Structures are given as structure tokens and as C-alpha cells.
């Protein structure tokens, strides 16, 4: 996985860390601040030792975002070199669509016993074989989904000064507008701008969320609440599929768990085969619930092949994260995924991750382990797992390998 991209020397050593920076949540309490300050310190150290040029040696002013760059370039015909991510032939973004990507009709969970069990069985086999599935009849109003895409789009369409209010290199900031993977480190840039912040049933950071567009806070609050409830339903089905109590995973999230929304904006790209919106990664939480604005761009790796996941309005896709892979003792797999970009249109995706509280211990569920020796992973505190992801020099799913028993 680590070598799938022919990265330049600097990237070989640092890209994995950048990727995991992307996946990591933003700190909002003391111990998180401690971790993040260590990471920030480490970044500064590597940065100052790194032979590559400082960020301000770049030819372009990229910190304002790719959208700003494209909007302010007259008829851009080529991807600027800073964004070129050379990908070997076999790893090239392909638009091949696999009709067999699992689709789960969640209304089955409310049906008679037989239907409920077959829905749980379908979720279980999707988790085992793909680590990924699409859900329909999920109970969230399409009008709310549309409103959410609308406010996110309006946010990205704001004048740059308004977006930059939230612009930050500080990974500790609870609300951040940014671009690529991070703006603090030299790396091959990715064709993506983002807005990210915490959600949660009690959204402690609500007062910091964007005030513009004016509807943003209210729509996002409603949306995140509904998506949290959906996550709990899916966690319940996953628990049952593993033969655990239905609330096993929900309880293992701790008092509040962690919900993080990442809205991605991938502008239309003049040379989509030369760059990526997001490089391959798995999410470190339990599950991520994703929707988009109708433009296809998400790809998942299944049996060593990249598959495009068609955008289907009104549905969500669900990515299993590392937390569930560990909890299931590898019965279920977190999915490696990436985002490609389109020549025709800008793509917006809204990914909401759900994981345990930071002090939770990530480990296989005890009812699944008869003897200690059966455990495929060493227990790790969630925040330490995140830290491990940050210090890895590899990408893809390499952080999981580190806690795997041989
Ligand atoms: O754009 C997408 O569909 C994927 C986004 C994603 O993987 C993420 O934000 O973690
Ligand atoms: Fe992701």
C-alpha cells in the first residue's frame, strides 16, 4: 500500500503522516491539545530539517484553496506541478463501476424477524467482504440532505476573505477551512479544499461553526444529529452481526463518542488523471457516513482493484473504519478509499466520521475472544492510535499493521 504511489523522496518519508493528519480529529480538550502540540512540534522539526524548500518557495499561493486558484486563473489548461501525483498505471483512477457494490435497504431492520435478520446478515457480509456499503431507506429526509449540500456549497462559494476567517494551519482549531491535506507541510498538493469541525449529540463547538451562509449552523446541527442516529442504528446492526449485544459498539464509544464532519470541495480539474482529491487512506474511527452532490469521485479498494462508487442521490455510503476492524478482531475490514477529481464539474462530498471518545481502549470485543492468543490486535488507547497514525511514514492502512499481532 505504502508504495502504490511513486512519490518523491520527501513524500516517501512524510506522506503517511500527512494523510493521517487529515484523518485525525481536532483537539478540544487538554490531553488532545498535548498530543497535537507534540505533533505540531514534530512537524516543525521535520520541516526545518527537511531538504525541501520552504512553503513560501512555491510558485503558487495555494493556501487560499484550489477553488480560489482555479477561479483566479484564466482558463487553466494544465494542473500546476505542485498538484501532480504520479500514479503507476495499475493504480490509475479508473471509472470502472462495479454493480455488485453492496446496497442495504435499512427499512429491513424494522421489518418482521426474518427480514430483520436477513438485513443484518447483508450488513455483516458487506462489512466482511467490502468494509463498505450503500444504504437506502435510511430515514433521513432527502430535503435535509439537499439543504446540507446547499449550505456547504454556499460556504465554498463565499468570497475568499469569509472562508479564510476559518483558515488555519493549527490542527488544534475546532473549526478549520483548509486545502489539500495540510498547509503546514511541504507535500504534493491534493485537488481539494475542506471545511471540518466537530459535531456530536451535544455539539460543544456549535458557537464556533460558520455563521455564513446564515443557515449553515442550523442545517448542520439538524443534519449531524440525524446522521449520528443513523450511525447508532448501523452500529447496532454491526454489533448483532458480530453476535454481540445490539448496543455493544454504541456503549464502547463512551459517554459522548466523537463525531467529525469533513466537507470536501474538489473543483473541476483540467487534467483529472494527473492528481487526486484525496490519497488512499482508511478512516480511524468506527464508521463514516458519506454523501455527495451527485458527482461521482469516491473510489474504494476491493481485492486490490480500485472501484468507482457511483453517486446515487438520496443514498449514503458507509465506510468502515479501523476502530470497527479491531473491535471485530478482523472479521470486518476497514476500507481503503480515495477521491478522484472530475474534468466536468466540481464535486462536493460530506463525510461524517463516528468514533469512540479519545480515552476509549481500542481492542477486539471481549466476547469474540475466547483466549488472549486469539486477539489479532494489541489494545491501544484511541488517542494513541491516532498518534501512531500520525507518526507513521507509510500510508494506506499501515497504522493497523503496527498494532497487529503476528
Ligand atoms: O470525497 C469522498 O467521497 C471521500 C471523502 C473521504 O474519504 C473523507 O473525507 O474521509
Ligand atoms: Fe475517508
Domains identified in the chain and CATH numbers: 104-402 (2.60.120.330)
Q: Is 109 in the pocket of ligand 1 (CB under 6 A)?
A: no
CB neighbours (10 Å) of residue 70?
A: 16
Per residue of the chain (406 residues), what is the pLDDT tens digit?
Answer: 232 222 222 233 333 333 333 333 333 344 344 433 433 333 333 233 232 333 344 556 788 999 999 999 888 999 988 898 866 677 765 556 666 789 999 999 999 999 999 999 999 999 999 999 999 999 999 999 999 999 999 999 999 999 999 998 776 678 999 998 755 555 678 999 999 999 987 888 999 999 999 999 999 999 999 999 999 999 999 999 999 999 999 999 998 899 999 999 999 999 998 899 998 889 889 999 999 999 999 999 998 888 889 999 999 999 999 999 999 999 999 999 999 999 999 999 999 999 999 889 999 999 999 888 899 999 999 888 877 765 554 567 777 878 888 7
Q: Output the pLDDT for position 256.
A: 85
- The bound ligand whose nearest atom lies closest to the alpha carbon of 290 is 1
Q: Is 290 in the pocket of ligand 1 (CB under 6 A)?
A: yes
Cα atoms found within 13 Å of the Cα of residue 348, Cβ hemisphere only: 20
Q: Tell me the residues surrounding ligand 2 (ion) with CB < 5 Å.
A: 283
User: What does the DSSP 8-state code read for residue 334?
Assistant: P
CB neighbours (10 Å) of residue 284?
A: 25
Tell me how far the alpha carbon of residue 219 is from its chain's centroid. Answer: 21
What is the C-alpha separation between 71 and 64, in angstroms, rounded? Answer: 11
Best residue among 262, 322, 339 to mutate for probing ligand 1, ranked by most atoms within 8 Å of CB: 339
What is the C-alpha separation between 317 and 103, in angstroms, rounded? Answer: 9
As a 3-state breakdown, the chain gives helix, strand, coil percent values, each rounded to 5, of 40, 20, 45
Q: Measure 280 CA to ligand 1 centroid, in angstroms.
A: 10
Q: Output the pLDDT for position 393.
A: 44
Q: Output the pLDDT for position 125.
A: 95
Q: Which atom of ligand 1 is nearest to 347's Cα?
A: 1
Q: Is 346 in the pocket of ligand 1 (CB under 6 A)?
A: no
Q: Which helix (H) or strand (E) holds 263?
A: strand 258-266
Q: Which atom of ligand 1 is nearest to 288's Cα?
A: 10
Q: Which helix (H) or strand (E) holds 105?
A: strand 103-105
Residue nearest to atom 2 of ligand 1 (CA): 298
Q: Measure 259 CA to ligand 1 centroid, in angstroms.
A: 15
Q: Output the pLDDT for position 398.
A: 72
* Closest CA relative to residue 227, chosen from 199, 263, 250: 199
Q: Is 264 in the pocket of ligand 1 (CB under 6 A)?
A: yes
What is the C-alpha separation between 97 and 298, in angstroms, rounded? Answer: 11
Q: Is 298 in the pocket of ligand 1 (CB under 6 A)?
A: yes
CB 314 within 8 A of CB 349: no
Q: Is 336 in the pocket of ligand 1 (CB under 6 A)?
A: no
Q: Output the pLDDT for position 395.
A: 65
CA distances from 89 to 15, 255, 277 (A): 20, 46, 18
Q: What is the pTM of this model?
A: 0.84
Residue nearest to atom 5 of ligand 1 (CA): 351
Q: Measure 75 CA to ligand 2 centroid, in angstroms.
A: 31
Question: Is ipTM over 0.95?
Answer: yes
Amino acid at each position: 500500500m505504502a508504495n502504490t504511489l511513486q512519490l518523491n523522496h520527501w513524500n516517501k518519508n512524510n506522506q503517511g503522516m500527512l494523510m493521517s493528519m487529515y484523518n485525525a480529529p481536532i483537539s478540544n480538550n487538554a490531553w488532545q491539545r498535548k498530543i497535537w502540540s507534540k505533533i505540531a512540534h514534530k512537524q516543525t522539526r521535520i520541516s526545518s530539517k527537511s531538504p525541501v524548500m520552504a512553503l513560501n518557495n512555491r510558485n503558487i499561493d495555494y493556501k487560499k484553496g484550489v477553488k480560489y486558484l482555479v477561479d483566479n486563473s484564466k482558463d487553466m489548461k494544465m494542473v500546476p506541478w505542485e498538484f501532480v501525483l504520479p500514479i503507476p498505471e495499475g493504480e490509475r483512477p479508473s471509472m470502472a463501476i462495479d454493480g455488485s457494490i453492496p446496497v442495504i435497504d435499512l427499512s429491513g431492520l424494522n421489518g418482521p424477524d426474518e427480514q430483520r435478520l436477513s438485513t443484518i446478515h447483508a450488513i455483516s457480509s458487506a462489512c466482511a467482504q467490502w468494509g463498505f456499503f450503500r444504504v437506502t431507506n435510511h430515514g433521513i429526509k432527502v430535503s435535509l440532505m439537499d439543504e446540507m449540500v446547499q449550505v456547504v456549497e454556499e460556504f465554498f462559494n463565499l468570497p475568499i476573505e469569509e472562508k479564510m476567517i476559518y483558515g488555519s494551519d493549527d490542527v488544534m482549531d475546532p473549526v478549520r477551512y483548509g486545502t489539500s491535506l495540510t498547509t503546514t507541510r511541504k507535500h504534493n498538493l491534493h485537488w481539494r479544499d475542506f471545511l471540518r469541525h466537530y459535531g456530536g449529540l451535544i455539539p460543544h463547538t456549535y458557537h464556533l461553526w460558520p455563521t455564513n451562509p446564515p443557515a449553515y449552523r442550523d442545517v448542520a446541527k439538524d443534519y449531524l444529529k440525524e446522521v449520528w442516529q443513523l450511525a447508532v442504528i448501523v452500529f447496532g446492526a454491526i454489533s448483532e452481526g458480530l453476535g454481540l449485544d445490539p448496543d455493544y459498539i454504541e456503549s464502547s464509544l463512551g459517554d459522548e463518542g466523537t463525531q467529525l464532519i469533513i466537507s470536501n470541495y474538489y473543483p473541476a480539474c483540467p487534467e483529472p488523471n494527473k492528481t487526486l482529491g484525496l490519497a488512499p487512506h482508511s478512516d480511524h474511527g468506527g464508521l463514516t457516513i458519506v454523501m455527495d452532490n451527485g458527482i461521482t469521485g469516491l473510489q474504494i479498494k476491493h481485492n486490490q482493484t480500485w472501484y468507482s462508487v457511483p453517486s446515487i442521490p438520496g443514498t449514503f455510503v458507509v465506510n468502515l473504519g479501523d476502530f470497527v476492524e479491531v473491535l471485530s478482531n478482523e472479521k470486518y475490514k476497514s476500507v481503503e478509499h480515495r477521491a478522484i477529481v472530475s474534468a466536468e464539474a466540481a464535486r462536493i462530498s460530506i463525510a461524517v466520521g463516528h468514533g469512540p471518545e479519545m480515552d476509549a481502549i481500542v481492542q477486539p470485543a471481549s466476547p469474540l475472544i475466547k483466549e488472549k492468543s486469539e486477539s489479532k490486535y494489541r489494545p491501544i488507547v484511541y488517542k494513541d492510535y491516532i498518534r501512531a497514525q500520525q507518526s507513521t511514514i507509510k500510508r494506506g492502512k499501515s497504522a493497523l499493521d503496527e498494532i497487529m499481532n503476528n
